[in-house]
A and B are shown apart, each in its own frame.
Chain A
Amino acid sequence: MDDYLISLFIDDEMNLDEKIVFVETVHTSRQFSLEAVAFLEQEKMLRALPAQMPASVMPRLQGNTVFSWSSLFRSRWQPMLATAMILMGLAFFLTPSPPTLTTQSEQRFVLYLPQASQAKIVGTFTNWNPVPMQKIGASGYWSLTLKVPQGEHRYSYLVEDGNRLVDPTVIAREHDDFGGENSVLVVGGGDADPVS
């Protein structure tokens, strides 16, 4: 029996000849027809599995900036980048520098941690001082809005027992020198997205 046609039918992979054979077989063979329905029912179950990334781990892609320089520094471009940076550094010291303006952008940090009794954020923009987050009702979410200076930042969350968590919604991460990991956030200039 051409029962492999059932899979081709399920997966939309039939050519016209196969479609003809399939339709004819469904009409002439009751057994084939029942078999096809059984596989289709099975397929419904198979495809009904959780098909969405859990909300708490959706990476947050912001503008042009998330995919950080840090990844470049780990790449095979490292020697060239190092040379470029030295040259840029020299240029910096050899040319008069314009006055610098530090702009800030409001960033909202949200963490889903229903079991926690407290959550804090710690990072370069808090000078690594823990700042408590606020619980959003009984939703299990913790939130904090901070003004973050323009530039690339490292941060993580502190939960009970001194445990540190990277931001599960941010793809870019970097290991620190103490065996831990930080999320990397790049805050752009005037067009920096506030995190929603």
Chain B
Amino acid sequence: MHRFRKFYIDNRDKLFGYLLRRSGNRHLAADLVQETFTRYLERYRNHEQSPALLYTIGRNLFYDEMRQNNRLVPGEEIGQVTVADQEEAYIAKEESSKIFAAMERLGEDERDILALVVSSGLSYQEIADIRQCSVANIKVKVHRARQKLKKLLQENTHG
């Protein structure tokens, strides 16, 4: 269990970041993190620890949730950033709200791949394994997603 505890601590916040970027909902993201670790433990506690497997479970749970309950509440509490200074917190909140608003306008595929790259710390190869595609495909798609996000942010700023 000590081994798992370390795995949990190493991956908890990153997985939360991924699911938050996917769902735009802190409570849902936190619930999904718990459920993901629970399922991981139930099924794979004796396997070699694999963050890629963890993200696969989390990602599938997220899609199940989308299909079943439609619990996504775009932008809900999204801007809570841990910054002590209030003014900085306000600016950070504004910025993160903008980012989330722009991410919501990305295509499903683009949002997923960007959330994985930004949050997980996994390599392109591991992300390719999760998404069952080639590394070349990831390379192209990641940058396209960033380009599109940049364009959306510029549109928001100018209009």
User: When A46-B99, A48-B92, A49-B99 are in contact, do A11 and B81 touch as well, CB less than 8 Å?
Assistant: no
Q: How far is the CA of A11 from the CA of B127 in the complex (A)?
A: 12
Contact between chains at B41 and A42 (CB < 8 Å): no
Bound together, the chains give a CA A64 to CA B3 distance in angstroms of 11
Neighbouring A residues of B16 by C-beta, 8 Å: 51-53
Q: CA separation between A17 and B38, bound complex, in Å?
A: 43
Contacts of A61 in B (CB 8 A): 1, 4-5, 8
Interface size on A, as a range, is 20 to 34
Given A53-B33, A71-B38, A172-B38: A13 touches B124 (CB 8 Å cut-off): yes
Query: For window 62-93 of chain B, which residues contact chain A by CB distance below 8 Å?
Result: 78, 80-82, 92
Instruction: Report how far A3 CA is from B150 CA in the complex, Å.
Output: 13
Q: Which residues of chain A are within 8 angstroms of B12 by Cβ–Cβ distance?
A: 53, 58
Partner of A47, one of B30, B118, B147: B118
Distance in angstroms between the alpha carbons of A71 and B45 in the assembled complex: 13
How distant is the Cα of A47 from the Cα of B105 in the complex, in angstroms?
Answer: 18
B117 an interface residue at 8 Å Cβ cutoff?
A: yes
CB of B14, distance to nearest CB on chain A (Å): 8
Main secondary structure of the interface of B (DSSP, over half): helix
Is B129 close to A, CB under 8 A?
no
Q: CA of A4 to CA of B147 in the docked complex: distance in angstroms? A: 9
B95-115 contact mask (Cβ, 8 Å, vs A): 1 or 0: 110111000000000000010
Say yes or no: B80 contacts A50, CB within 8 Å: yes
Tell me the minimal C-beta distance from B77 to chain A in angstroms.
9
Q: How many angstroms from the CA of A48 to the CA of B98 in the assembled complex?
A: 12
Q: Which residue of A lies closest to B153 (CB)?
A: A42
CB-nearest residue of chain A to B125: A13
The distance from the CB of A19 to the nearest CB of chain B, in whole angstroms, is 15
Q: Which residue of B lies closest to A169 (CB)?
A: B34
B-chain residues with CB within 8 Å of residue A38 when the two chains form the complex: 150
In this assembly, does A39 line the interface, its C-beta being within 8 Å of a C-beta of chain B? Answer: yes
Which residue of chain A has the shortest Cβ distance to B98 in the bound complex? A45
A57 in contact (CB, < 8 A) = yes
With A53-B30, A64-B1, A171-B34: A48-B96 Cβ-Cβ less than 8 Å: yes
- Known contacts A49-B20, A52-B82, A67 near B42 by CB under 8 Å: yes
- Selected from B4, B37, B98, B139, the residue in CB contact (under 8 A) with A13 is B139
The chain A residues found within 8 Å of chain B, CB to CB, are: 3-4, 6-8, 10-11, 13, 38-39, 42-43, 45-54, 57-59, 61, 63-64, 67, 71, 75, 168, 171-172
Instruction: Give 27 CB contacts A-B under 8 Å.
Output: A3-B143, A3-B147, A7-B142, A7-B143, A8-B139, A11-B124, A13-B139, A39-B146, A42-B149, A45-B95, A45-B96, A48-B81, A48-B95, A49-B78, A49-B81, A49-B96, A50-B80, A51-B119, A53-B12, A53-B13, A53-B30, A53-B33, A57-B30, A57-B31, A61-B5, A67-B38, A71-B38
